[in-house]
Structure 1
């Protein structure tokens, strides 16, 4: 293995961790809902899958689509996170309201899409380089899945400590992360 290949692998590992940290941060907030371990496993697997599919799509379309779409993907992801977080905060004050966003079905797909949109932009840039695609995609998916699990389990533990205020804190984390994407 050459020094160049080792450097490329280290770069991909750091990139995978950076992409997975988005999922970790958001999962920390989402995990503060009372979510069962089986659901946490499914959510992590779906987010990992999205972190494979989105950059793969970006790689495939890397040369066909302009770099402008990366800005729109980030904007959409940020808006989705702010919306999900705001709903969590407002539903914490209205105990009779049913939660709109649950990490099941369509809610899970929106959640996974919102945390993996930035990986599409990364895929666009990787499509223009000569990176080991399969290795990069598996690394992205594995890191985001693992970090999602860690975030949701930590969030679940914090829910037990914070009780009724955990949903407000979780929603605030999602809103803050979405605003950071939009304006940071």
Structure 2
């Protein structure tokens, strides 16, 4: 795979994380660049590791990954989206009167895993091609770092316009991405 194909793949893989990060940034109260970079690093590291995991699985059990990755992504995104919808509609039970300045690590990690399962499936496919999986995974991780950081900062400006509806919109975006993943899988078969 040449460098332009790798870059297209990398930025294509980062689009789900970008969409989610906009809603994550909108749900925060004036997120700083430091928080955007933290989120980008978490998403980027996970997005870089999933093609490696997929590549390794492709060497051993590719059929299982290809048969189930869409369902796993769908249910993770559905659960995370439902949680965001609930918090947007009924308010978070903790710190209800205090604005949120950052998301918890585990929430970000779970969201990153859910949005990076497509990169795992790509990793399975890359196991059958003559590619340098390490450079490809680094490119995917770096593209996701850039796009997620950018998404959080864009969300910073959208958040004040939407208010509490930003969390509702974010939940709908997560659920929509999950449905799109499931739809794409069934339309391909």
- Same fold per superposition (TM over 0.5): yes
Q: Which 10-residue stretch deviates more, 19-28 or 78-87? A: 78-87
Specify the SS of the correspondent of 1:32: helix
Structure 1 position 63 matched with structure 2 position 93: no
1:104 alignment counterpart: 104
1-structure distance, mates of 2:110, 2:49? 14
Structure 1 position 92 matched with structure 2 position 88: yes
Cα distance change on mapping 1:98 and 1:71 into 2, 3 Å: farther
Shift of 1:147: 0.7
Shift of 1:74: 2.1
Unaligned 5+ runs, structure 1: none
1:78 alignment counterpart: 74
Cα distance change on mapping 1:96 and 1:9 into 2, 3 Å: closer
Cα distance change on mapping 1:148 and 1:96 into 2, 3 Å: closer
1-structure distance, mates of 2:149, 2:69? 24
Unaligned 5+ runs, structure 2: 96-101, 185-189
2:99 alignment counterpart: none
Shift of 1:119: 0.7
Shift of 1:96: 5.3
1:126 alignment counterpart: 126
* Correspondence for 1:22 among 16, 23, 32: 16
Q: Write the deviation string for residues 113-133 of structure 1: whole angstroms up to 9, x where unpaired.
A: 111111111111111111122
Number of aligned residues: 176
1:51 alignment counterpart: 47
Specify the SS of the correspondent of 2:60: coil
Q: Write the deviation string for residues 77-119 of structure 1: whole angstroms up to 9, x where unpaired.
A: 12111211121112222135249xx732322221111111111
Using structure 1 for the length normalisation, give the TM-score: 0.86
Q: Which 10-residue stretch deviates more, 89-98 or 173-182? A: 89-98
Q: In 2, are the aligned partners of 1:70 and 1:118 still within 8 Å (CA)?
A: no
2-structure distance, mates of 1:105, 1:47? 10
1-structure distance, mates of 2:103, 2:159? 16
Q: Flag as ranges the 4+ runs of structure 1 deviating above 6 A.
A: none
